[in-house]
């Protein structure tokens, strides 16, 4: 059988599984979509070497469901963050420049304008959580409750997120929540209108926190709705490592919670809803930092993403009525691991691309050559990171899953199938 025949057979198998799954797979429950943005297989390989060693296991490795992700858009092969998120939220192939719409047109179904899966969950009385390490208008979470003709319309998008009815919202982006000139906890507001969305959130019943310490000090039993505003923009500094060093900036804000800490709190609140919940959780640093070819920052972002995967996997093991599904929509920077070598007598470490690629990690004034965690023989190995460039590529992206209906993830998974699997698990309806 040719590779094309294999691919067609796998796609047909997924359609059959979604349409005629056994009774056990028709059960409904909670859904968590974890989106480690920009992570291809090579990103996870680098993280494994660095965190667990070349013979070790990440939390991500322990998820039993596994499929190859095909993420083309209606008009191009490589996905975009806003177009890819729109496909995940609506299950429809859209053009790449889409934010909750198909280009500038509404996404429609036979019954009229289609709602996103999160909007349907809210209408059905389920709790919805939007948890994000980037700013509040980042598409990976915002597109599930907001639509706009351009992702740059951050004022409009932020308002839709705050007024969406989501029970838990955590992100950065205070700049998009306060009017221009209004001083906030993290900096001045930049909204072009006079709308104070933090005051609006308090009117809607949200408890508002601004730092990790404030988040961890909450009595969650007393919190019905939660808004976390943890940074002026992102909770990380997504620029080249050299620039961060020159400006004295950490990779991640020292006062903001990690995506894992946000996830832990969100699960505790959302899981109280007797009708169930739907959560979208995004580690945005794995994309933005990699797109700046910041190797050290990318490894830190991946470590944080894997920590969140571990928290989520523990949750689904303790709550078997919950599906965890995770995928990226593109491969940020085309990361590759290249071999390093140790100089004699403890001298500097070097790495080489053998004449190709853009290498960040070579010996130099700001040299980032890394050591792996020990292998099974106790040996640590030096390595560097090479990049295709500053852009996103199609890459080798995997869908992973665990918990309820995890077996619906077949060997080949289209980006529209992510929506179908989530929809069937939330609502019990198999979609063709």
pLDDT at 344: 53
H/E element holding 298? Answer: helix 295-318
- Tell me the C-alpha distance between 130 and 170, whole Å: 6
Place of tokens 């509404």: 106
- pLDDT for 360 equals 47
Give residue for tokens 């004295």: 248
Q: Is 304 helix (H, G, I), strand (E, B) or coil?
A: helix
So where are the chain's domains?
28-334+390-427, 338-385
Longest dimension (CA), the chain: 72
* Radius of gyration from C-alpha coordinates of the chain: 21
Say if CB 131 and CB 280 are below 8 A apart: yes
Scan for tokens 């505790």, then name that residue.
268
Note the pLDDT of residue 111.
Answer: 64
Pairing of strands 392-393, 398-403: unpaired
Between the alpha carbon of residue 318 and those of residues 195, 263, 266, 270, 323, the distances in Å are 42, 15, 16, 15, 12
Are the beta carbons of 304 and 259 closer than 8 angstroms?
yes
pTM: 0.90
Report the C-alpha gap between 395 and 401 in whole angstroms.
19
Q: What is the C-alpha to C-alpha distance for residues 49 and 387, in angstroms, rounded to an integer?
A: 17
Q: What is the Cα–Cα distance from 226 to 127, expressed in whole angstroms? A: 12
Burial of 214 (0-12, 13-18, 19+ CB in 10 A): middle
Average pLDDT, consecutive stretches of 10 residues, N- to C-terminus, the chain (432 residues): 44 50 65 98 97 97 98 95 97 97 90 89 98 98 98 98 98 98 97 96 98 98 98 97 94 98 98 97 98 95 98 98 97 91 52 46 49 95 90 93 98 97 95 84
For position 150, what pLDDT does the model report? 97
Spatial CA neighbour of 72 closest among 409, 400, 393: 393
pLDDT, residue 202, reads 98
Task: Provide the 3-class DSSP secondary structure of residue 112.
Answer: strand
Predicted confidence at residue 366, as pLDDT, reads: 33
The confidence score (pLDDT) of residue 369 equals 82
Note the pLDDT of residue 340.
76
Question: For residue 205, which of 262, 160, 167 has the smallest C-alpha distance?
Answer: 167
Q: Which CATH superfamily is domain 28-334+390-427 in?
A: Alkaline Phosphatase, subunit A (3.40.720.10)
């Amino acid at each position: 059988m040719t590779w094309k025949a294999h691919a067609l057979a796998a796609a047909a198998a997924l359609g059959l599984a979604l349409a005629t799954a056994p009774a056990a797979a028709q059960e409904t429950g909670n859904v968590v979509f974890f989106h480690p943005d920009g992570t291809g297989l090579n990103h996870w390989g680098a993280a494994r070497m660095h965190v667990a060693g070349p013979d070790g296991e990440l939390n991500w490795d322990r998820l039993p469901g596994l499929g190859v992700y095909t993420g083309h858009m209606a008009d191009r092969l490589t996905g975009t963050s806003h177009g890819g998120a729109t496909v995940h939220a609506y299950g429809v192939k859209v053009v790449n420049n889409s934010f909750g719409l198909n280009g500038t047109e509404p996404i429609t179904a036979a019954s009229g304008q289609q709602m996103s899966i999160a909007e349907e969950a809210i209408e059905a009385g389920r709790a919805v959580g939007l948890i994000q390490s980037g700013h509040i208008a980042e598409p990976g979470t915002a597109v599930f409750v907001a639509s706009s003709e351009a992702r740059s319309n951050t004022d409009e998008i932020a308002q839709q997120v705050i007024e969406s009815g989501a029970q838990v919202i955590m992100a950065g982006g205070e700049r998009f929540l306060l009017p221009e000139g209004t001083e906030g906890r993290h900096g001045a507001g930049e909204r072009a209108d006079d709308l104070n969305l933090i005051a609006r959130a308090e009117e809607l019943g949200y408890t508002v926190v601004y730092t990790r310490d404030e988040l961890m000090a909450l009595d969650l039993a007393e919190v019905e709705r939660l808004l976390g505003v943890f940074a002026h923009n992102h909770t990380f500094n997504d620029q080249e490592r050299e620039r961060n060093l020159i400006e004295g900036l950490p990779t991640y804000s020292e006062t903001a919670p990690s995506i894992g800490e946000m996830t832990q709190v969100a699960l505790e609140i959302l899981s109280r809803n007797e009708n169930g919940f739907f959560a979208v959780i995004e580690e945005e640093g794995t994309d933005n930092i990699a797109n700046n070819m910041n190797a050290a920052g990318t490894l830190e972002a991946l470590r944080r993403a894997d920590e969140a995967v571990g928290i989520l996997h523990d949750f689904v093991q303790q709550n078997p009525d919950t599906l965890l599904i995770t995928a990226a929509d593109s491969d940020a920077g085309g990361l590759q691991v290249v071999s390093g070598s140790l100089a004699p007598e403890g001298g500097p470490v070097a790495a080489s691309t053998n004449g190709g690629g853009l290498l960040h990690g070579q010996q130099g004034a700001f040299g980032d050559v890394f050591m792996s965690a020990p292998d099974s023989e106790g040996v640590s190995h030096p390595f560097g990171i090479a990049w295709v460039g500053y852009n996103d590529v199609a890459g080798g992206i995997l869908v992973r899953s665990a918990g309820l209906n995890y077996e619906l993830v077949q060997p080949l998974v289209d980006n529209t199938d992510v929506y179908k699997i989530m929809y069937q698990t939330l609502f019990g309806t198999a979609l063709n």
